[in-house]
Amino acid sequence: MALNNFLILSAFLFCTGIYGVLARKNAVLVLMSIELMLNAVNINLVAYSAFHKAVAGQVFALFLITIAAAEVGIGLAIVLLIYRNSHTVDLDDADQLKG
């Protein structure tokens, strides 16, 4: 199998993720889009690992999955707190960062 197919899939997933992050109003969906982007990176890592016959890429991918899990945990917790405070998960309403 050619490397290109994997890379195209990865690029597609990544772009979908970016779209989701930028366009979606729902914070949960934004989090899911971030997961998509991370998985696109994972696919890239595994594909290159197989292509170069080097195991390091797969090890990185395993680490990434772990980190992504932790990240989602924190992200969901933040979303939950935002919801508790303002009874919404619409990101346009959460603009306190402008200071």
Partner 1 sequence: MLNYGWIIPAIPAVSFLLILFFGKRMPKKGAEIGIVALSASFILACVAVYQWIDRVESATGGHASGLRALGRGVFGAEGAGHGEAVVTPVIHHFTWWQNGGIEFGVGIRMDGLAVMMLFVVTLISLLVHIYSTAYLENDIRYTHYFAMLSLFTAAMLTLVVADNTLQLLLGWEGVGLCSFALIGHWWEEGANSRAALKAFLTTRTGDIGLMIGIIILFFAVGSFDIGRSNLYALTPNADHGMLLAASACLFIGIIGKSGQFPLHTWLPDAMAGPTPVSALIHAATMVVAGVYLGARLYPVFFNGFSIGHGGVNFMVLIGGITIIIGALLAFVQDDIKKVLAYSTISQLGYMVMALGSGAWVAAVFHLFTHAFFKALLFLGAGSVSHSGSHHSFDMKKDMGGLRKYMPITFWTFMIGTLALAGIFPFAGFWSKDEILVTAGRSGYDIFLVVGLVGAFLTAAYMTRCVYLTFFGEYRGHGHPEESPRVITGPLIVLSVFSIGAGVLAWSAWPFHLEKFKEWVEPRVSFPVVVHPGFDYSKAAISLAVATLGIGIAAFFWFKREEIGALKGLTQRNKVAHAGYTFLVNKYYLDALYENVIIASIKGGIANAAYWVNQHVIDGVVNGAGRGAKIAGKFTYEKLDQRGVDGVVNGVAEITGESGGLLRYLQSGRVQRYALLLFGAVGLLSLFLLLANS
2 or 95: CB nearest partner 1: 95
CA–CA separation, 40 and 44 (whole Å): 6
Positions touching partner 1 (CB under 8 A) are: 18, 21-23, 30, 91-92, 94-99
Which of 29, 50 has the CB closer to partner 1? Answer: 29
Smallest separation, CB 66 to partner 1 (Å): 24
Cβ proximity to partner 1, 70 vs 92, nearer residue: 92
Provide, rounded to whole angstroms, the least separation between the CB of residue 25 and partner 1.
8
3-state class (DSSP) for residue 40: helix
**What is the helix (H) or strand (E) element at residue 92, kind and residue range?**
none
Three-state SS at 26: strand
Smallest distance from partner 1 to CB 10, Å: 16
Q: Which of 98, 82, 67, 99 is nearest to 25 (CA)?
A: 82
Minimum distance of partner 1 from residue 62's CB (angstroms): 26
- Tokens for 64, please give them: 């990434």
